[in-house]
Structure 1
Amino acid sequence: MEKVAVLGAGSWGTALALVLADNGHEVHLWTHRENLAEEINQTHRNEKYLKDIDLPQSITASHDLGATVENAKHVILVVPTKAMREVCGQLKEVLNDKVIITHASKGIEPGSYKRVSEVISEEIPKEKYEDIVVLSGPSHAEEVSLRQPTTVTVSAEELEVAEKVQDLFINRQFRVYTSPDLVGVELGGALKNIIALGAGISDGLGYGDNAKAALITRGLAEIARLGTSKGANPLTFSGLTGIGDLIVTCTSSHSRNWRAGNKLGQGYPLEEVLDQMGMVVEGVRTTKAAFQLAQEQGVEMPITSGIYRILFESADPRDVVDELMTRIRRHEMEDLTNILDEKMND
């Protein structure tokens, strides 16, 4: 049994805390909301984020960051990407022992285009952690909290450290693989949220399964193009953190990115949609970052560009779909061939 600090008491952070508690670990869950910490400790529930789910009594919540991480061997970061720098800045002040940092947040920082692990490494001195691990894959918190079968991937620069995190989480309901491709695992998890917004928009417009299947497939090509331009292995995008995460996020009402896109497709303005959601929709921020990064890298991403225009330029979703459907004709295998050729010539 190990003491594990989970930072972030939203739906995903709470679900991961439950997995760790099931595995017999001493879990300390941090939230910046004192009233939420009191609710979890008194009722053993987190009704706002995981309704009707009983939490093990081995999960202790606190709004005191220093007390949460004291003597912990593992720190699991599950906060929104927009809060990552701020939380890491606080974390570095209270870390006294060297820990393994695992993050389960999916996004790219606009402006810097940094992956989450890069943000963490910039904010926390290397002497305070053994390595940074990413945990990603097709995993709705609601299903994990019900102990339904779920499979994810962990990746780190040091395989031995990734295997420690694999051992920390893995159980009969929560299977964990390892991957050597840290860049691909992070980018796959971040970029799929953009395509999930698009899938929701398509459904909100009343389009059918044909349109969504095309969107997912061509969206995967865009993810692979941008990912490989940043050094990812293209094969990673055919795995759990690529097509696996893309499918689950584009086809389920559990997905907040799909739900937000669905509202946009129905004609609701972005600000109203975000207010109604009540939770962070990572795909919105990531769309801006990916659009800007693609322009800088010279990577063609027409679906991402279209969604960017819907989100930030008030473009009509139907007009964007019409433009995508009337693009210049091309060969489907061009993308895959170009990606593989570029990787082999590296």
Structure 2
Amino acid sequence: MTKKVAVLGAGSWGSILADILTENGHDVRLWSNVPAQVAEMNEFHTNTHYLDDYTYSKDLHAYDDLKEALDQVDAILFVVPTKASRIVAKQVATILKETGNKPIVIHASKGLEQVTHKRISEVIEEEISADIRGSVVVFSGPSHAEEVANRDLTTIVSASADPAAASFVQDLFMNKFLRIYTNNDVIGVEIGAAMKNIIAVGAGMLHGMGYGDNAKAALITRGLAEIARLGTSFGANQLTFMGLSGVGDLIVTATSVHSRNWRAGDQLGKGKSLDDVVADMGMVIEGVGTAKAAYELAQQQGIDMPITNAIYDVLYNNKEINLVIESLLNREGKAELAE
């Protein structure tokens, strides 16, 4: 059955998800606050800043008027950078109060808000009150936009405290190459999604410095232990971190050239400054901001996260990568399962 869906954010992931929903037969409105991007999408069906060799469905329509994009939709999908989530949520709330429409709210962003250290679903719930919306659903998993654009086989998690809402989102996206699993562990799915970006930056650093697979495997494995330690301290299910939004998303983000976080780390490992890396990327590197939020959160909660701390030191304290690696390796020995 055709649903009306507003996708907020026309970056690589947002625009591809909008195109997939259109292909699945839904009425999709893709919103961007960049008029030139909207004009390009509608006239040429391209989004060259993000995916320069991809042509979108002619049935996908882009909007720069948020109220028009949200008109009578069944669902709203947030795919904006973490730092913009609260701003856009406030705007959405104002419109929903005017219209009286109560759509399900989905988000596919991956990060922790600066200063508050809150998960994105918490930000959405704070700004869009329950009386003006449906349930909140998190959409996350190992999924590079470039590979979904090629219709590569992909599995993603639809997580919500409301099973019916999770199933609704599952039905929206399922097709012959995209398989969706439901989960009720919103905390675990969001923590896994945010934290893997930090570990991916570290994995890129190792590659840039010339380290091999042994070092990368060690970082990814011990990084996963840190992610689970943080998540379970907030009530997440340990098994979630063994699933798609945990180890699955960590593997794909920490090992692929498609990953902005990995590419950023790789350039840092080769000696570039963080300012130059950010300027060269031209797109949001979520792991950089999340590293600061996660570091502060771990300090606040008294959680041992040595890898996160080390990456934070490189990014924000200008410490040399080889020195933080040495510091990590020279810590006092401990049992692997002594978490």
Does structure 2 retain, via aligned residues, the 8 Å contact 1:256–1:277? yes
Partner of 2:198: 194
1:51 CA displacement: 1.8
Q: Secondary structure at the match of 2:168?
A: helix
Partner of 2:111: 107
Partner of 1:179: 183
Instruction: State the Cα deviation string for residues 275-307 of structure 1 (Å, max 9, x = none).
Output: 100000000111011111111111100000000
CA–CA distance in 1 between the matches of 2:303 and 2:287? 19
Long gaps (5+) in structure 1 = 336-346
Q: Say if 2:265 is the partner of 1:261.
A: yes
Equivalent residue runs for 1:202-241 within 5 Å: 202-241=206-245
Q: Say if 2:121 is the partner of 1:117.
A: yes
Q: Say if 2:60 is the partner of 1:59.
A: yes
Partner of 2:278: 274
The amino acid of 1:21's aligned partner reads T
1:110 CA displacement: 2.1
Equivalent residue runs for 1:1-346 within 5 Å: 1-95=2-96, 96=99, 97-335=101-339
Partner of 1:341: none
1:201 CA displacement: 0.5
1:128 CA displacement: 1.4
CA–CA distance in 2 between the matches of 1:81 and 1:128? 22
Does structure 2 retain, via aligned residues, the 8 Å contact 1:19–1:174? no
CA–CA distance in 2 between the matches of 1:107 and 1:64? 26
**Structure 1 length as normaliser, TM-score?**
0.96
The amino acid of 1:77's aligned partner reads F
1:239 CA displacement: 0.3
Partner of 1:342: none
Does structure 1 retain, via aligned residues, the 8 Å contact 2:40–2:46? yes
CA–CA distance in 1 between the matches of 2:276 and 2:76? 35
CA–CA distance in 1 between the matches of 2:52 and 2:16? 12
Instruction: State the Cα deviation string for residues 37-60 of structure 1 (Å, max 9, x = none).
Output: 000000111111112111111110
CA–CA distance in 1 between the matches of 2:207 and 2:76? 38
Percent identity of the aligned residues?
A: 53
The amino acid of 1:232's aligned partner reads A
The amino acid of 2:117's aligned partner reads Y
The amino acid of 2:49's aligned partner reads K
- The structure 1 segments of at least 4 consecutive aligned residues displaced by more than 2 Å after TM superposition are none
How many residues align? The count is 335
The amino acid of 2:93's aligned partner reads K
CA–CA distance in 2 between the matches of 1:271 and 1:31? 26
1:252 CA displacement: 0.2
**Structure 2 length as normaliser, TM-score?**
0.98
CA–CA distance in 1 between the matches of 2:324 and 2:223? 15
Q: Secondary structure at the match of 1:143?
A: helix
CA–CA distance in 2 between the matches of 1:296 and 1:229? 12
Does structure 1 retain, via aligned residues, the 8 Å contact 2:154–2:178? yes
The amino acid of 1:138's aligned partner reads P
Q: Secondary structure at the match of 1:329?
A: coil
CA–CA distance in 2 between the matches of 1:195 and 1:123? 30
Does structure 2 retain, via aligned residues, the 8 Å contact 1:136–1:152? yes
Moved more, 89-98 or 296-305: 89-98
The amino acid of 2:14's aligned partner reads G
Q: Secondary structure at the match of 1:79?
A: coil
CA–CA distance in 2 between the matches of 1:160 and 1:32? 32
Q: Secondary structure at the match of 1:334?
A: coil
Q: Secondary structure at the match of 2:134?
A: strand
CA–CA distance in 2 between the matches of 1:88 and 1:180? 23
CA–CA distance in 2 between the matches of 1:183 and 1:164? 19
Long gaps (5+) in structure 2 = none
CA–CA distance in 2 between the matches of 1:19 and 1:143? 12
1:101 CA displacement: 0.4
